[in-house]
Amino acid sequence: MQVNPQQIKDIVIVGGGTAGWMSAAVLSKVLSRDYNIRVVESEEIGIVGVGEATIPQIKLFNQVLELDEDDFVRKTKGTFKLGIEFVDWTRQGHRYIHGFGVNGQDLGLIAFHHYWLRALKMGQARDLGAYSLNTAAAPAGKFMRSAQVENSPLNNIAYAYHFDAGLYAAYLRAYAEARGVKRIEGKIVSTVLRAADGYVESVVLDRGETVSGQLFIDCSGFRGLLIEGALKTGYDDWTHWLPCDRAIAVPCANAGDPTPYTRSTARPAGWQWRIPLQHRIGNGHIFSSKFMSEDEAVAILLKNLDGEQLAEPRPLRFVTGRRKKFWNKNVVAVGLASGFMEPLESTSIHLIQSSLARLVMFFPSAGFEQADVDKYNQQTHWEFERIRDFLVLHYHQTEREDTPFWRHCRSMQIPPELKEKMELFRANGRFHREADELFGVTSWVQVMIGQGLMPRGYHPLANNLTDAELLEFVGGIENVIKRCVDVMPTHGEFIYKNCAIPEFRPAAMMSKAA
């Protein structure tokens, strides 16, 4: 396909890392080679790398790129993920798992959790996690891909990945360069705007080179070199709802087989992440500087590592929120340049992915129609807000009162949309998904119940079953889940058989060798 004068021809991606090379990879795949795609990246600027954990939507991204999953996991030293375990969030000593996939099995016109709520009120139900394959298999250390088993939860297993963000960027760089993307080494020192309309005309590098383009994708991280530095777009600060503004990151050695889930452990003024890879564990402590010093945060993190510390702790500063415009003139902000929400539910990489999907949908002509830009911004604003509400739920719906931080979170005002969702669920367990918001009924129900938000009632249609029929239905699902978990291999065994790095050995093999 030839590029005509009305089409964008020159695309400049400012910044590499996860956002930059995801952008380059997907655009080099969906656009013809007549487009000139360049990535301006400096080796002097480090990669933040907060996005090592993902959600199942990343499989769609990989499918667009036609990646081989085993090769992708091996080269990023990755593991698989069935969900996220939350420890001490509801109260100290409590834990639950937000699993991917489905809760139980819906029956008739209503969701499974209504039948579960009725059985629970009868004293005849276990924790909700016992009725989902993901939430049962994850703590058991089991994992497998979907299998051709008729009428079985094994037929449709939802999962995502953990991987090394630096290796992921390198993997996608190789992919993009093989499709004609050019990398330009250099640090940007200035931006040239067109006098007529204020659009970005070019960027100037430290060695004097000028890189011109028609469409600029800002992947420069928190700095927002173009979207903020050059265009002064503005930023919506959400720290009044999500008060954490600092993070400390450090890797440590593995301790046994990697778990098939991410772990988030609540701390006195924030939370600690644990992301298991084949060669190490990624750890971090996100906290509020208003309630805790950096020295305290580092001490808590280092005290709670599973294995030997492998590097010096790395501090990060951020302001939770979003740009007032994600697309301004001829600049589209992607990744951390567009905004930041802590990786509590592993949404960082998804927001890159959804931004790129939306950019492809509204890919501009050389004229940059304002209607396209406005719709892009409207949809992206809405997506950020709905994810924000889901994260705020974790902090606000808690029984903890043991520290000033948690007392603040319990008593703070919350967004009205979140308040409405919580009140609807608290009444009779109902949840209404707004359009195509990212998290649906499975996620919201697991987290609301996990955080201690228990409905007063349930949908009346759950009473259509007799007591005996109800217990047979709910108990049957529990038994099916147990049998499925029993036949699944361990996570370590699955990795070793399919996508292991050379030095990886599952615990079972190590114990036999000993």
User: Distance between CA 511 and CA 147 in Å, rounded?
Assistant: 29
8 A C-beta contact, residue 132 and residue 460? no
Percentage of the chain modeled with pLDDT above 70? 96
Cα dihedral sign, 448-450-456-461: positive
Confidence at 50, pLDDT banded by 50, 70, 90: very low
* Alpha-carbon 300 to chain mean position: 24
> How much is the pLDDT for 34?
86
With residue 372 as reference, give the H or E element that holds it: helix 370-396
Kindly report, residue by residue over 489-512, the tens digit of the pLDDT.
999 999 999 999 999 999 766 655
**Rounded to whole angstroms, what are the CA distances from 167 to 25, 163, 183, 231?**
14, 8, 17, 32
CA dist., res. 267 & res. 285, Å (int) = 8
The yes-or-no verdict on residue 48 having pLDDT over 60 is no
- Torsion sign over Cα 139, 142, 148, 150: negative
Distance CA(86)–CA(366), nearest Å, equals 47
How many angstroms separate the CA atoms of 449 and 461, rounded? 20
| Whether the predicted pLDDT of 2 surpasses 60 | no
Q: Which residues pair with 265 in a beta bridge?
A: 87, 272
Q: Which tens digit of pLDDT belongs to each residue from 446-455?
A: 999 999 999 9
Quote the CA–CA distance of 209 and 216 in Å, as a whole number: 17
Q: What is the pLDDT of residues 254-284, one digit of tens each?
A: 989 999 999 999 999 999 999 999 999 999 9
The residues annotated as belonging to the active site are 81
Q: Which residues of 422-460 are buried (b: 16+ CB within 10 A; e: fewer)?
A: beebbeebbbeeeeebbbebbbbbbbbbbbebebeebbe
Q: What is the pLDDT of residues 5-46, one digit of tens each?
A: 578 999 999 999 999 999 999 999 999 888 999 999 998 766
Residues facing residue 185 across a β-bridge: 41
Q: What is the arithmetic mean of pLDDT over 200-207?
A: 96
Q: How confident is the model at residue 1 (pLDDT cuts 50, 70, 90)?
A: very low
**Residues 365-387, mean pLDDT to the nearest whole number:** 96
- Both tokens of residue 99? 């699993």
290 has a pLDDT exceeding 80: yes
Which residues make Cβ contacts (< 8 Å) with residue 182, sequence separation at least 6? 36, 37, 38, 39
Residues 6+ apart with CB under 8 A from 54: 81, 160, 161, 162, 163, 346, 349, 350
Sheet holding 321-323, edge to edge: 235-237, 321-323, 339-340
* First vs last C-alpha separation in the chain: 61
Write the single-letter amino acid at 402.
Answer: D
pLDDT at 265: 98
- Residue percentage of the chain with pLDDT more than 90: 92
Global pTM exceeds 0.75: yes
DSSP 3-state assignment of 438? coil
Domain ranges, ordered by start, for the chain: 10-50+164-237+324-368, 246-317
Question: What does the pLDDT average to over 300-305?
Answer: 98
pLDDT at 4: 60
- Residue corresponding to tokens 């200035």: 190
- Cα–Cα distance measured from residue 207 to residue 189, given in angstroms and rounded to the nearest whole number: 9
CA dihedral 434, 440, 442, 444 (to 10 degrees): -70
Which of 425-432's residues contact partners 24+ apart within 8 Å by CB, and which partners? Answer: 425/453, 425/455, 426/453, 426/454, 426/455, 426/456, 427/455, 427/456, 427/457, 428/455, 428/456, 428/457, 428/458, 428/459, 429/113, 429/114, 429/117, 429/455, 429/457, 429/458, 429/459, 430/459, 431/111
| CATH architecture of the domain covering 10-50+164-237+324-368 | 3-Layer(bba) Sandwich (3.50)
pLDDT (mean) for 408-424: 98
Mean pLDDT value of segment 185-196: 96
**Distance in angstroms (rounded) separating the CA atoms of residues 199 and 193:** 5
